[in-house]
Amino acid sequence: MQPVPVALLHPATHVRPRTALVASADRSFRQRLTEILTGLRWQVREAQGGAEAWAEAEGSTPEAIIVDSWLPDLDLSEFLADFRGRFPQVDVVSTTGATAQESPRGPYRQELLYALRRTQDTDTAAWNLAPALKTPAPAPVVLQAGPRPFAPAQAVNPGAALPLEAGSPITLPQPALVRTVPLRSGPPPGAGAEKKSIDRLPELIGNAPCMLEVSRRIRLVAPRMTPVLIEGPTGSGKELVAEALHRLSSRNRKPFVAINCAAIPEALLEAELFGHTRGAFTGAVQGRVGRIESADGGTLFLDEIGEMPLALQSKLLRFVESSELQRVGDNETVKVDVRIVAATHRPLAEHTQTGMFRADLYYRLAVFLIRTPALCEHGEDLSLLVEHFMNKMGREAPMKRVDPSAMGKLTAHDWPGNVRELEHVLERAAILAGDEAVLTAQEIDFGLTVH
Ligand SMILES: Nc1ncnc2c1ncn2[C@@H]1O[C@H](COP(=O)(O)OP(=O)(O)OP(=O)(O)O)[C@@H](O)[C@H]1O
Ligand SMILES: [Mg+2]
């Protein structure tokens, strides 16, 4: 007897599962969606916010993304527009039926879950989610048009079971799934504004031209092997940039290894970077692989490179030139493939003039420069950053908002500790406010800031 082809045993088993990404800050909503989609043979990944969803999609592009109508860290309409620009091939479904500005939280969540469950009930081998997702939405936004034939989601008891029984009183809007329409379609009203939104990296908050330039440079250089030097004052996002370079490179499945050259005593730094053999120095009871080797295939982030001792700079230069290293106490040469990103808050070019930093190493590391601006250089981004950090804190504790008196005080400050200082000031204010939902000028305290 001929073996039965697998496809006849189960209509879906011969097909690769489709991939979806669910982005919502609401864990139970994510879980319910994941459960249903998994039942429909989709492979689902979850993200708690926009930046995480973005990173997931950059790592491995899904076929569809379902985005809740509110994201804790990013503006929904900007996220959707950016996402469409970056991943035009991905089907985007949002639980918002209205424009992001008008939408209350998740007005169409119940309808979406219901529509998916119905798909699950009627076709368990289900491949018909794909056409459902692909159902074109009547312009401009499907669920906004006409009177709604069902009660708004607020009237639905959120805890109640979904109305799955036949003859359910709820009439689904058509189409059942909302396919969001491009929020900015056609020639953009201000081409600059459109470009702005698409170019900005989601984790790098700031729409000021100097911040957009940072995003632009990251996108341009990330896919290459080119060494990058990030220069900027403390707390201005240098590490954030280094991580973004790694995330947007083809090395993102391999390690991102950071080493802070200022934080490790000079005597240990060499062994830490290059590794050592057993007995290479007093106390080396075991051999150890260095940070450079542990980054093999990935990105090596040399933070505070300006603090590296001159002797070690020579050894690093040899590695940068040859991609080969010798562990301390070892004659054997090891070949390592890493992309080097370095950062400094010092004017390194000037230090090459005074002999504090090797010029030849500088030129090898600074093949491409990215400068992270001080917060006072992009003060116009302050309210966006405040919103970002308040939303971020709102994920772990009840959401608070900043009143105009507090905002005035924040605006008048000169931010020597830059974005990190802002984050700390807001965190401290939120603690000082106790149960109050509003932060006032009284809670804004710069005195304690340690950069
Ligand atoms: N543009 C930005 N958008 C959102 N968060 C930011 C931005 N810039 C910095 N941050 C946040 O501020 C904090 C400090 O950033 P980061 O550690 O990258 O700064 P840094 O330049 O490396 O500082 P240092 O020189 O002190 O090491 C981090 O929590 C980071 O996420
Ligand atoms: Mg840093």
- The CATH number for 235's domain is 3.40.50.300
Number of structural domains in the chain: 3
The closest-lying atom of ligand 1 relative to the alpha carbon of residue 451 is 26
Cβ atoms within 10 Å of 145's Cβ, excluding its own: 13
Same domain membership, residue 224 and residue 367: yes
Give the domain-ending residue among 342, 371, 400. Answer: 371
Task: Identify whether residues 356 and 394 lie together within a single domain.
Answer: no
Instruction: For the full predicted model, state whether its pTM sits above 0.85.
Output: no
User: What distance in angstroms lies between residue 233's CA and the mean position of ligand 1's atoms?
Assistant: 10
Backbone angles phi, psi at 42, to 5 degrees: -95, 150
How far is 239 from 256, CA to CA, in rounded Å?
Answer: 11
User: Given this model, what pLDDT does residue 395 score?
Assistant: 83
Q: Are residues 75 and 140 in the same domain?
A: yes
Give residue-wise pLDDT tens across range 375-404.
999 999 999 999 999 999 988 888 999 999
10 Å CB burial of residue 49 (0-12, 13-18, 19+) is: buried
Q: What is the pLDDT of residues 198-244, one digit of tens each?
A: 578 888 999 999 999 999 999 999 999 999 999 999 999 999 999 99
How far apart CA 259 and CA 320 sit, in angstroms, is 16
Please give the single-letter amino acid code of residue 160.
A
Residues of the chain with pLDDT under 50: 1-14, 97-107, 121-197
Of 109, 22, 117, the residue nearest 62 (C-alpha): 22
Query: Does residue 298 lie in a domain region?
Result: yes
Q: What pLDDT does 182 receive? A: 31
Of 371, 394, 411, the one marking the end of a domain is 371
Question: What pLDDT score was predicted for residue 109?
Answer: 66
Atom from ligand 1 closest to the CA of residue 206:
1
Of 371, 388, 404, which residue is a domain's last? 371
Measure the CA–CA gap between 253 and 242, rounded to whole angstroms.
15
| 162 within a domain of the structure (yes/no) | no
Name 30's bridge partners.
Answer: none
Res 363: pLDDT: 95
Structure tokens at 72: 């804790």
Task: Tokens for 8, please give them.
Answer: 């006849």
Instruction: For residues 361 and 227, state if they share a domain.
Output: yes
Pocket of ligand 1 from Cβ distances under 6 Å: 204-206, 232, 234-240, 345, 372, 388, 419-420, 423
Cα(436) to ligand 1 centroid in Å equals 28
Q: Tell me, what CATH number does 404's domain have?
A: 1.10.8.60
Distance from C-alpha of 441 to C-alpha of 223, rounded to nearest angstrom:
44
pLDDT of 146:
24
Q: Which domain holds residue 387?
A: 375-443
Q: Report the atom number in ligand 1 closest to the C-alpha of 242.
A: 18
Q: State whether 231 and 367 are in the same domain.
A: yes
CB 300 within 8 A of CB 273: no
Bridge partners, residue 371, by sequence: 231
Q: Which of 212, 218, 239 to mutate to test the pocket of ligand 1 (most atoms within 8 A of CB)?
A: 239
Position 283 scores a pLDDT of 76
